[in-house]
Amino acid sequence: MVEVFKTNVKNKNQAKMLIHLIYETFQGYVVNFDLEDCDRILRVKCESGCIESEDLIHFLQKLGVQAEILPDETPPGQRSFLSSGINFHFGTAIEQAKRYF
């Protein structure tokens, strides 16, 4: 599964730190930014399950980053959203990130 987010990430250093924190917090995610795009795109891929979009958005908001899901170009009815009830702790990653933002 792949999810694409519009963000307000400002530069490559901020993007690198966010990638590091996402890898530490969300198991199985592969992420990258396209800061050349006008929407400052964050792409998230997870081959082992569902992307917990709301959890990721909440995590980014705690770091002062705005993010929203970009609409899917796939026709309605061709995607299913499952919730795995992922449970993780934001505290450590957020404390680390505060030094950079």
Kindly report, residue by residue over 13-30, the tens digit of the pLDDT. 999 999 999 999 998 999
- pLDDT score, position 34: 97
Q: Which two tokens stand for residue 24?
A: 């530490």
Give the CATH number of domain 2-73+85-98.
3.30.70.100
Q: Enumerate the domain spans of the chain.
A: 2-73+85-98
Q: Cβ(55)–Cβ(90) under 8 Å? A: no
Residue 59 has pLDDT above 90, yes or no: yes
Phi first, then psi: give them for residue 58, nearest 5 degrees.
-60, -45
Report the half-sphere exposure of 47 (CA within 13 A, side-chain side): 1
User: With bands split at pLDDT 50, 70 and 90, how would you rate the model's confidence at 80?
Assistant: very low
Residue bearing the bigger pLDDT, 85 or 19: 19
Q: Which two tokens stand for residue 15?
A: 């993007």
- Which of 46, 42, 30 is closest to 84 using CA atoms? 46
